[in-house]
C-alpha cells in the first residue's frame, strides 16, 4: 500500500507539515524546572468540584515553579455541549480566584499557543493524522455502528475483549486504496483508526502522584478522528499537550485506563511524554460506605452548589487543599493568618485513594474562615451574596448598615470568637432577629416558668433596665431579680435542691434571649441588646409583660 497516497486521499486539504507545526509552537523559554500545566474541561454546562480540584493542583504546580497555567476548552463532543457553557466555566473559575496565564477567555483567548478551543484546531490535528497515515500508522475505517455491534456480540460470546483490534480490524486494515476511494466516492462515512500492534508487552509509566504504573500495552485500533473529522479525546490530548508544551498533565484517575493509548501515540509521534498526575476521584460517605460523588444524587458535586449555599470561596479552597495535601491542616494551624496561596503544595503529599468530600467538615472549615473575617468584610461579602441569592435580605442589610455590621461583630472580640456563622445562607437566618421585619419568636417560654412569674419578671426587668449599664452592672441586676423571684442565681444550687427554687438563672436568661432574639440559644444578651438599641429592646420585652 502506498501510505503517502492514502494520506493525500484522506487529507487533500491538509498542506502544513509537522515541522511547520513545531516551529509555530516552539518550546517555551522558561526557567529550568518551570512547569506548564492546564485544565481541559469539556463545556457541558455543569462545572463540577472536580474541575476546581484539578485546577487548584495545576495552578499551584505551575505558579509555584514559575511556569504557565492555561485553560483549554475540550469541546470535541458536540452532543454534550450546551450554549453559554464556556462562559459559565470561565466565570466559575474566576469566582474561585483561579488565575490562568493564557488560554480561552470569555470573549476569545490570550496566549501564543492557541487556538485554545479544540474545535478550532481541526487543521492542526489533521496535519498529524495525515502524517500518521503516511507512516502506515493510521487507516480509515468504514465499519457501521451495526457492524461494530455485531463484532461486540461475537466477542462477548467468545469471552474476548471488546473493541476493534487484531483479527477484528483486519477487513478495514486491508482495504486497498481503490476500495477506500470507491467507498469515499459513495459517501460512506469513515473514522481514522490508529493501527495498534498486538504485542504482549507491559508498559511502565511514572505518575507523579501514584509512582510507577505498570499496564498492558495498547493493542486497540482506537479512533483518532471521528467521522466529522473532529479528534477523539485521546488524539487531541496528545497533540495539544505536546504543541502547547505542557510539562504535566493533571487529570482525573478515570483516564488511567486509557493511558496506554496515549503513551502509544506519544511514542508513534516521537514526542516526549509529559509527567502524568492522575488525581483521586471525589467520593463521599453514604451510610458508612465510600462511593463516587454522583451528578444525579449529590448536589455538592456542582460548583454552583457552594455559591448557592453561600459557602465562601476560601472555605472551598481550604477544603480542596485539605483533600489534596495531607499536611495542609497542620500547616493551617501553624499559619492561621496566612493566605492559602502561600501553602507549599506537593505531589508527594497527595492521596491516591478517593478524596472524601465531607460536607460537615466543610461547614467547620467555613465557620473557621468566617470567624477570621472582620465584621465589615463579613457585611460586604454577605451583601454581595444576598444581592444575587436573597435580595430581600440585601435590602435589610442596606437599610440598617450600622446595625448589621454591629450584629456581625457580636461575640467576636473574645479570645475564642463565637462561630455562629456557617454560610451566607445560614447567616441570613441567623441574623434575622436583628430586624423587626424578619424577627419571629420561635422558641416557647413555657418550659422556663409559669406565665404569672414570667409577666412579673419582664415587668421588673423593664422597670430596672438602663440601656447605659455596662455588662457587669446589667448582670448584677439580672441576678438580683432572679433571687427576688425565687430562682437560683447559681445553676448548681438549683440542681442540688430543685424543690427549693422556681428555677435557675438559666431559665431567666433563656426568657430574655427568647424575647429578644426568638431563640433560647443566642449570643450574649447584653451585646445583642446594644446592637438592637433601647427602643427595640423595650418593645420586644414589653410584649411579654402581657402575654
User: In the set 53, 69, 74, 209, which binds ligand GLU (CB under 6 A)?
Assistant: 74
The residue among 477, 502, 506 whose CA lies nearest residue 487 is 502
Residue 145 falls in which region: left (phi positive, over 0), alpha (psi -120 to 50) or beta: alpha
Question: Which residue's CB is nearer to ligand GLU, number 11 or number 53?
Answer: 53
Size of the site for ligand GLU (CB under 6 A): 7
CB of 235 to ligand GLU, least distance (A): 12
Inter-axis angle of helices 471-484 and 525-532, to 10 degrees? 110
End-to-end CA distance of the chain: 99
Q: Which of 7, 14, 37, 42 binds ligand GLU (CB under 6 A)?
A: 42
Under the binding rule (CB under 6 A), the answer on residue 40 touching ligand GLU is yes
Q: Is 43 among the residues that bind ligand GLU (CB under 6 A)?
A: no
Q: Are 235 and 181 in contact (CB under 8 A)?
A: no
Smaller CB distance to ligand GLU: residue 252 or 411?
252
Q: Binder to ligand GLU among 48, 60, 117, 237 (CB under 6 A)?
A: 237
Q: How far is the CB of 226 from ligand GLU (least distance, A)?
A: 15
Neighbouring residues of 105: CB distance < 8 A, sequence distance ≥ 6: 90
Listed ranges 40-48, 374-382, 476-484, 517-525: which one lies at the site for ligand GLU (CB under 6 A): 40-48
41 binding ligand GLU? (CB under 6 A): yes
Other C-beta atoms within 10 Å of 172: how many? 20
Q: In whole angstroms, what is the distance from residue 516 CA to residue 525 CA?
A: 8
309 binds ligand GLU (CB under 6 A): no
Q: Which residues, other chains included, contact 432 with Cβ-Cβ below 8 Å and sequence gap of 6+?
A: 393, 438, 439, 440
User: For residues 531 and 402, what is the distance between their CA atoms, to the nearest angstrom?
Assistant: 9
Output 41 or 260, the one with its CB closest to ligand GLU: 41
7: exposed, middle or buried (Cβ count in 10 Å: 0-12, 13-18, 19+): buried
Minimum gap (Å) between residue 42 Cβ and ligand GLU: 4
234 lies in the binding site for ligand GLU (CB under 6 A): no
DSSP state of 113: S
**Smaller CB distance to ligand GLU: residue 123 or 253?**
253
What does the alpha-carbon distance between residue 222 and residue 191 come to, in Å, rounded to a whole number?
10
Residue closer to ligand GLU (CB basis): 249 or 445:
249
Q: Examine residue 103 and tell whether it contacts ligand GLU (CB under 6 A).
A: no
β-pair partners for 108: 105
Q: What is d(CA 216, CA 259) in angstroms, rounded to the nearest whole number?
A: 10
| Distance in angstroms (rounded) separating the CA atoms of residues 139 and 152 | 20
Give the list of residues 6+ apart from residue 191 with CB closer than 8 angstroms, or none. 140, 141, 223, 224, 225, 226, 227
Of the listed pieces 35-43, 350-358, 392-400, 457-465, which binds ligand GLU according to CB under 6 A?
A: 35-43
CB of 44 to ligand GLU, least distance (A): 8
Contact letters for ligand GLU, residues 242-261 (x by CB under 6 A): -------x-x----------
| Segment lying near ligand GLU (by CB under 6 A), choices 34-42, 162-170, 412-420, 512-520 | 34-42
Residues binding ligand GLU (CB under 6 A): 40-42, 74, 237, 249, 251
Amino acid at each position: 500500500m502506498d501510505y503517502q497516497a492514502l494520506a493525500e486521499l484522506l487529507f487533500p486539504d491538509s498542506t502544513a507539515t509537522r515541522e511547520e507545526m513545531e516551529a509555530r509552537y516552539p518550546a517555551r523559554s522558561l526557567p529550568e524546572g518551570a512547569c506548564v500545566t492546564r485544565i481541559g474541561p469539556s463545556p457541558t454546562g455543569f462545572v463540577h468540584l472536580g474541575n476546581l480540584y484539578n485546577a487548584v493542583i495545576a495552578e499551584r504546580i505551575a505558579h509555584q515553579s514559575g511556569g504557565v497555567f492555561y485553560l483549554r476548552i475540550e469541546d470535541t463532543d458536540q452532543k454534550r455541549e450546551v450554549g453559554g457553557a464556556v462562559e459559565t466555566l470561565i466565570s466559575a473559575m474566576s469566582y474561585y480566584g483561579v488565575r490562568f496565564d493564557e488560554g480561552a477567555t470569555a470573549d476569545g483567548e490570550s496566549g501564543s499557543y492557541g487556538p485554545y478551543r479544540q474545535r478550532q484546531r481541526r487543521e492542526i490535528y489533521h496535519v498529524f493524522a495525515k502524517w500518521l497515515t503516511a507512516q502506515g500508522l493510521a487507516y480509515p475505517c468504514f465499519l457501521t455502528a451495526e457492524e461494530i455491534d455485531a463484532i461486540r456480540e461475537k466477542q462477548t460470546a467468545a469471552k474476548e475483549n471488546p473493541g476493534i483490534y487484531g483479527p477484528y480490524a483486519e477487513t478495514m486494515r486491508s482495504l486497498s486504496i481503490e476500495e477506500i476511494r470507491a467507498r469515499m466516492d459513495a459517501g460512506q462515512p469513515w473514522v481514522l483508526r490508529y493501527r495498534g500492534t498486538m504485542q504482549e508487552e507491559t508498559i511502565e509509566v511514572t505518575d507523579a502522584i501514584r509512582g510507577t504504573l505498570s499496564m498492558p500495552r495498547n493493542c486497540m485500533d482506537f479512533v483518532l478522528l471521528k467521522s466529522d473529522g473532529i479528534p477523539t479525546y485521546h488524539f487531541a490530548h496528545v497533540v495539544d499537550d505536546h504543541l502547547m508544551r505542557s510539562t504535566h498533565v493533571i487529570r482525573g484517575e478515570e483516564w488511567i485506563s486509557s493511558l496506554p493509548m496515549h503513551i502509544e501515540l506519544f511514542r508513534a509521534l516521537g514526542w516526549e511524554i509529559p509527567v502524568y498526575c492522575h488525581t483521586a476521584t471525589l467520593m463521599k460517605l453514604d451510610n458508612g460506605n465510600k462511593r463516587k460523588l454522583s451528578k444525579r444524587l449529590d448536589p455538592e458535586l456542582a460548583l454552583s452548589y457552594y455559591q448557592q449555599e453561600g459557602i465562601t470561596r476560601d472555605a472551598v479552597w481550604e477544603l480542596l487543599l485539605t483533600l489534596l495535601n495531607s499536611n495542609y491542616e497542620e500547616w493551617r494551624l501553624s499559619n492561621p493568618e496566612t493566605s492559602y496561596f502561600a501553602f507549599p503544595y506537593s505531589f508527594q503529599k497527595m492521596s491516591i485513594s478517593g478524596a472524601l468530600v465531607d460536607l460537615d467538615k466543610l461547614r467547620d472549615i467555613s465557620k473557621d474562615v468566617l470567624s477570621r473575617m472582620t465584621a465589615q468584610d463579613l457585611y460586604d461579602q454577605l451583601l454581595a451574596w444576598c444581592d444575587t441569592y436573597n435580595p430581600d435580605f440585601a435590602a435589610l442589610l442596606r437599610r440598617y448598615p450600622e446595625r448589621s455590621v454591629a450584629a456581625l461583630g457580636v461575640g467576636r472580640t473574645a479570645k475564642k470568637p463565637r462561630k455562629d456563622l456557617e454560610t451566607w445562607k445560614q447567616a441570613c437566618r441567623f441574623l434575622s432577629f436583628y430586624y423587626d421585619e424578619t424577627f419571629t419568636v420561635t422558641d416557647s417560654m413555657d418550659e422556663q416558668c409559669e406565665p404569672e412569674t414570667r409577666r412579673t419578671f419582664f415587668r421588673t426587668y423593664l422597670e430596672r433596665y438602663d440601656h447605659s449599664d455596662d455588662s457587669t452592672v446589667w448582670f448584677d441586676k439580672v441576678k438580683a431579680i432572679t433571687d427576688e423571684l425565687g430562682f437560683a442565681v447559681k445553676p448548681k444550687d438549683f440542681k442540688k435542691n430543685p424543690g427549693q427554687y422556681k428555677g435557675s438563672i438559666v431559665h431567666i436568661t433563656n426568657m430574655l434571649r427568647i424575647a429578644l432574639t426568638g431563640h433560647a440559644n443566642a449570643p450574649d444578651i447584653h451585646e445583642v441588646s446594644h446592637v438592637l438599641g433601647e427602643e427595640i429592646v423595650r418593645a420586644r420585652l414589653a410584649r411579654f409583660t402581657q402575654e
